[in-house]
Structure 1
Amino acid sequence: MTDHQKPLGSGFGARTTAGEVLAGIDLSGKHAIVTGGHSGLGLETTKALAGAGARVIIASRDPASAAKATAGIDGVSVEKLDLSDLDSVRSFADRILATGSHIDMLVNNAGIMACPDTRVGPGWEAQFAINHLGHFALTNRLWPAIEGGARVVSVSSAGHHNSPIRWDDIQFERGYDKWLAYGQSKTANVLFAVNIDRLGRGAGIRAFSLHPGKIFTPLQRHLSQTEMIAAGWLDADGSPADPTFKTPEQGAATAVWAATSPQLDGLGGLYCEDCDVAMRAEATDEPFVGVRSYAVNPDDAERLWSLSAKLAQSGLQ
C-alpha cells in the first residue's frame, strides 16, 4: 500500500495566508460549517471561505458574541453549539439537516488547551470531550448532509506529540496533567480524520487533520504570562519572542488548504502542516515536526472510533 503521508510540494509554506491559498478558487454555491468560527483561527477561516464565495455557518457556544465578531461578513450565519453538551450537538445537527442543505466543508476547529482539570458530561475530561468527542458526535450526526462529496477538516496540533491515546486512563482519573490531556485530545483529532476517511470515502467524504502552527489566539487563555515566558513564547516584558509564531491569517491557511485545495483531490486521511501534507515525525530529528505514527495508526483509529461511539451514546440524555 502506498504511503501518502509525505509532502506533495504544494508550493505553499509556513508564511502562506488563507487568502493566498484561495487565490483563483471560487466557492460560490458551497456551504461550510466552522466550529468556533468567530474567534482566532476560526474567524480567519470564516473570513477566507466567505471571501471566496462560500456560505459559512458558524457553530458557537456564544451566538451573540459570534454574531458581533462576524458582523459585516457576507454569507455568514450563526448557530448555537456547545461541544461539551451532546444534546446541544444533536440539536445543532438536526437544525442543519432540517434545512436540506448539503455541507461541502466541515471544519472542526473549536477547542480548548491546557485548561485546569475540568469535567463535563458524565465526568469526561474536558479537553478530550470538547476537542474530540463533541466533534465526533457532530460529524456523525451530520453524515447525511456531507455524503455525496465533502471534506471534513480536523484541526489538531503538533501538541499530539505529547501523548498517544491513554487507553488505560483516557479520562485522567489517576492524576491530571493539562499538557498530556491536550496532547491526547489532539492525537484523537488525527485518528478521527483517519477513520472518517476510511468510512466515508465511498460516499465521497474525505478527511484531513492538521497542525496550524503556533499562533497567539484566545486558545492560550488558560496559560499565564509566566508560563509563556518560560516556554520562550514571550520575552521578559511580555512581548512576542518566538519568530516561528504565525499570524492568525497564516495560521488559518492550512485548514483552508485542506478544506479546498484541488491538490488533495483523491487523497484523504492525511495530517497536514504549513499548507502541505506532513512527513512522518520519525523521518526527522526536528521536535514537534510531522505526524507521530501512533496518530495515524488505522487500528488505533478504529479502536478510538468504537470507544467514542459508546461514550457518545452514554452522553446523550
Structure 2
Amino acid sequence: MTGIPVTVERASASGALRRFFSRRASWIPVLAALAILIVMFIGAQAYFGNFLTPRVISSLLLDNAYLLILAVGMTFVILTGGIDLSVGAVMAFTGMLGASLLRDGLPVGVVVPVMLLIGAAMGLAVGIMVQYFDVQPFIASLAAMFAARGLAFMVSLSSIRVEDPAILWLQSTRIQAAPGSWFITPTGILAILVVIVGALLLAYTRFGRTIYAIGGNEQSARLMGLPVVRTKLLAYVVSGVCAGLAGVVFTAYTGASYPLNGIGTELDTIAAVVIGGTLLTGGSGYVLGSMIGVLVYGSIKTVISFLGAEQSWTRITIGALLLLFVVVQRIIVARSSRR
C-alpha cells in the first residue's frame, strides 16, 4: 500500500512538469543552453582538473563583455523578427572614432557619449530603411555594415593606441574580495548592467511587450493599435547603442582600435543569441538566454585553448550547436502551431 502514494506523487510531479513545459515552451531552449553550459563545466573540470578556478571563470566575463553587450542589443532586434549585421562594423567604427578623438585631446566625458550617439544613429538608419523604405533587415544592415567599416577606414588605415587612463581603467581594474579569489572588472560590471536593464525592459515595460507582439505577429500588433513603427525603430536604436558601448568596452579591452576589429563578430553575436534560445523568426527569447549563449561561446573558446587545438574548432563547434538549436526551435514552433 505504501507504494501507491509514491506512484501518485511521481505521476503528479511528472504531470506538473509537462504542464510547465507546455505553457513555457519558450524556456526549453534556454534550459537546454544552460544544461550544455553545466555539462561543459563539469566535463572540462573532470578532464583538466583546473578549469573551474576563479581566474578562468572570471575571465569568461572579462573576455566576452563586449560580446555580451552586443548580444543584448541583438536580442531586441531578433525578437522583432529582424536582424542586424552591422554591429561588428559599428563597434569598430565607434572604437576608431573614439580613439581618434581621445588622441586629439578630447575628454573621455565627451568621447563616450559621442560613440554612443554614433551607434544610435547607425541603428536608427537601419531601422528607417527597414520600416519606411521596406528594405529587408538583412540587406539594410548589410549596407550599414559596409558603410560603418568604410567609415572606420576613413578615420585611419592603421591602429590607434589608446592611452587615456579613464578608458584603460575600465579593463585594468580588478575588483575582488581577496587575492586569488573571483574578480570582476568595470567592463564586466557594464555588461551585467546592460543585461539587467535589457531584461527589465523586455519583461516589465510596454516597449518590451510590444517587441514580443511584433515578433509574434506584426499584423496583429498593428490591428491592436500598438506602436509598431516606433518600437521597431527603437529596437534597432538599442542595438546601435549597444554596439557603440561595445566599442568603448572593446577599446578598453585591447588598449587600441583598428579598422578591422570586429570582423565576424556580428555572426558570433547572432550565434550566441540563437544558442541562448531566441527564435530567429522573432517573438520568443530572453536576454538571460542570450547571456547563457555568450557564456557557452566563451567556454568553448576556453576549452579549445586549454586543449591547445586550433581556434577553427571553435567555429566548427559553434556551427554544430547553432544547427542543433535551430532544429530544436523548429520542433518547438511546429508543436506550438499544432496546439
Could you say which TM-score interval applies, normalised by the shorter chain? under 0.3
TM-score (norm 1): 0.28
**Greater RCO between the two (CA within 8 Å, min separation 6)?**
2
TM-score (norm 2): 0.27
Name the larger-Rg structure.
Answer: 2
Q: Which has the higher helix share?
A: 2
Q: Which has the higher strand share?
A: 1
